[in-house]
Structures are given as structure tokens and as C-alpha cells.
Chain A
Amino acid sequence: MLIYHIFIYHLFIKCNGERVYNEQNTGVWWEITEKSLPPGAKLLSLILYSDATNVDTLGKSQLHPIYVTIGNIKNWRRNKRDAKQLLGYLPILKANDSTEKQSEKYKKATRETFHKSLEVLLDPLLNDNGIDLVLNNKTIWFYS
């Protein structure tokens, strides 16, 4: 019975009715947005992410791949490698030197490139009717 004395006990008591957030669909935003959808439609949450990636060991050539995954999928499943898809490669603007990279013109062009790229990528979703998708052999009407 000596073991019991070694442990230090921490005790937390939470009040009843306190709200818990874990997945995306437990958030306040989801609650509000779902109410704004037409009856029968579901919410499809898309996550786009991008990061510069070296394609050689010296780090001399880089690509900016952009990936897509779905926020409706539970976190543990979404983080597995098969639950995401490569969507495309964002263009990288060439600059002759670091001075040019610091210039306002270059920065503006970089921002424009990013916004124009996302506009092109998201264009298929930019209609008012949502999209029909098949999940588990059932067709579900989604808004995203």
C-alpha cells in the first residue's frame, strides 16, 4: 500500500453544461453557418494548405505545392496521408537579387499571384447551387 502515498492526485471538476470543442463541426461558426443553408444541404468544409518545399538536397530549387483536404473528416483520420490530395503548384516569381525581393513592386506581384491562383483554384465552387457529391454510395448536396 506504499505505492498509493507516492502518487500526487490532481482533481479537476467541471461544471455541468460547460461546452466542449473538439472537431470542426462542434464550433460556433459551424452552428451558425449550418442554419443559413437551404433545407437538405450539408456543409462541406475544405482546407487548403501550402508550404515551400525543397526539391533537391541543396535547397536551390523550390516548389510551392498546394494541397486540399476536407474539414468534415475527423481530425485523427484527416491527418493520415491518404486523406489529402495534391491540388497544384503555385507559381514562384523570379527575382534577380534580394533588393528586388524587398521591393514594393515584387511584394505586390507576389500577393497578386497568390490571390489570382486561389481564384482560379476555387472557381469550380463559386456558384450559388452547391455541388452534389457521392459519399458511401449516397449522393449528398453540399455547400462549401
Chain B
Amino acid sequence: MDHESLPEDLSYDQSDQSIDSEIDHSFQSMMSITEDNADDQNIVESEDFIENILEESEESEEKSESFSYPNEAYGDLMSLITKHKLNNATGNAIIKFFNKHANLDKSPLPKSTKQGRKFMDDMKISSLNYIKTCVINYNNLDYYLHHRSLINCIKNILLIPDISQNFAQNFKKFEVIVSVYVT
């Protein structure tokens, strides 16, 4: 299936039945993938993660404008593709499906999945930026440590929704009261 190269014109061609069936097929396979991977918790977590990134980027004003999708549908599509690890062909099928049924004059989505991925790669997200620090010079070569902010990493972990229920804040002393083990 060659959905990699989508035609520039995204208007759906009703007469082309072969493409129609192909897209139906790949859309069905996408649906099964989506069902298999439907893990509500993971979705919530990554949403929170993205929210965190948004907050972070709002804090650093000079970088905030570079992190935004052109519109909400664009962002939702890309997070769907990323979450379920969809390939480009499946992504393109979704784009076609959306453009066909949404009845919009101008499509809010990227022309192809590849273009959407390129857009994500070019984003500047401050909390995901790696800092490069020269650690040592050995045999006339500089060695660099690539790392993220430790505080940001901790914050990201604390943002996981169910983490607070399993988070110990105080010392607890456990003692045996009565115990008889029978195995």
C-alpha cells in the first residue's frame, strides 16, 4: 500500500473504488490496533504530560510561541498517531477519512503523516531540551554529558495521576502483632 505519497489535492475521489477499498482496509486495521492499545490510564498520563509541557513552555515566555499546533485537530491527530504508534499509511488513512466526512472547506490536518511528524520534530519544547555540558577532556577530545533538568523529570513523574495514592510521605514503622503463617 502506498499511502506515503498522498496527492496534494485531498478532495476525495469517489470514482476510484480500488483506493476506497484499500483505505477501508487500512482503517479497519487501525481500528483494531486502537482497540488493542486502548489503555485509558496511559492516555490520561500522556495528556497530563503534554499539559505539563504546556505549563513549562508558558513559564518560559521566549519559547512559548514555538510550541503550538496550528489547531486543536492537528494536535489531537498527532497525539493519536504517537500514542498508538500508527504507521504513516494508517495516519494518512485517518487524514483522508477525516477530510471526507468532516465537510470542511479547508482541512485543519497536515497533508500527510510525514509532514505532521516533521512539524513535531521542529517544535522547540523547553522541558524536553537536552542540556549539553562538557564533562572531561581526554586525549584531546571533549566529552559531553547530554541531560535534562532533574527537577523537570521529578515533576513529570509526580504528574502521573495515580502516583499520589502510592506515594509515601512519612516514615512508617511496621511491627508484627499476631502472625501465624501456614503454608
| A interface, CB within 8 angstroms of B | 9-26, 30-31, 34, 42-44, 46, 66, 68-70, 72-74, 76-77, 82-94, 109, 112-113, 116-117, 120-122, 124-125, 131, 133-136, 140
Contacts and interface: CB of A to CB of B under 8 A. Distances in A.
Given A68-B153, A109-B136, A94 B141 contact: yes
Contacts of B146: 88-89
Interface string B165-182: 011111111111111111
Contacts of A12: 179-181, 183
B45 interface: yes
A66 B148 CA distance: 10
Given A73-B163, A109-B136, A46 B154 contact: yes
A87 B172 contact: no
Contacts of A77: 162-163, 166
A68 B147 CA distance: 11
A101 B174 CA distance: 48
Contacts of A74: 166-168
A15 B180 CA distance: 10
A116 B164 CA distance: 33
A66 B160 CA distance: 20
B79 to A, nearest CB: 16
Q: Which 10 A-B pairs have the closest CB atoms?
A: A88-B147, A136-B164, A91-B143, A85-B153, A25-B168, A77-B166, A20-B174, A12-B181, A74-B166, A18-B176
Chain B interface residue number, banded? 35 or more
B83 to A, nearest CB: 13
Q: Which of B156, B157, B175 has the most CB of A within 10 A?
A: B157
Given A24-B168, A77-B163, A122-B150, A10 B178 contact: no
B180 A135 contact: no
Contacts, number: 160
Given A9-B183, A30-B171, 11 more contacts: A14-B179, A20-B175, A20-B176, A26-B171, A34-B171, A86-B153, A88-B148, A91-B135, A93-B136, A125-B150, A125-B151
Given A25-B171, A74-B166, A124-B150, A113 B143 contact: yes
Nearest to A27: B171
Contact of A89 (B42, B45, B145, B167): B145
19 contacts: A21-B174, A25-B172, A30-B171, A34-B171, A43-B169, A69-B157, A70-B154, A70-B167, A72-B167, A77-B162, A82-B160, A85-B154, A86-B153, A88-B145, A109-B136, A120-B135, A135-B158, A135-B163, A135-B164
